[in-house]
Amino acid sequence: MSRFIDYPTLAPQGYQAQMALERYIRGSGLDHALLELVKTRVSQLNGCAFCIDMHTKDARAAGETEQRLYLLSAWREASCYTERERAALAWAEALTRVASGHPEEALRTELARHFDDKEAVDLTWAIVAINGWNRVSIGCNTPAGGYQPGQYAL
């Protein structure tokens, strides 16, 4: 395995800028449980082991059930997610896979049924942030498995 590149130490201003975005998202008013589902799903799509480990642990610590975490990769077939969660997960997948095509109008319409414009923008920022974290964590070979909930203070 390649060595971990300690990006918070080597590039503290970049790290702090990304953390500032996290603080904004955390204070946006979006439900923490919803954000953890979105962060976990995006991390699954991107194959980021560190972020999957982190966000499943944070989700559990916030009261998320094992069943919903286990079913997340197949959320379309699982009945345990709300319509709002489904709209958020679909939006997260579309923006994460944007190279495959831009979101269709039907997806935007469904998002608007469950999120007002401000919430949709905040959700979009959350998706941008986790995609960024995934890329930094993968690129710097951040080791998975040792994260503890609440380890990183916002």
CATH of domain 13-140: 1.20.1290.10
Using the predicted structure, report yes or no on whether residue 152 has a pLDDT greater than 80. no
* Residue 17 pLDDT exceeds 70: yes
For residue 131, CA distances in Å to 26, 79, 110, 134 come to 16, 26, 22, 5
Average pLDDT, stretch 59-72? 96
Which sequence spans correspond to the domains of the chain? 13-140
The maximal CA–CA distance of the chain, rounded, in angstroms, is 45
* 47's tokens: 């194959």
Say what the pLDDT of residue 135 is.
98
- Residue 52, pLDDT > 80, answer yes
CB atoms within 10 A of CB 24: 14
- Residue 153: band (very low, low, confident or very high) from pLDDT cuts 50, 70, 90: low
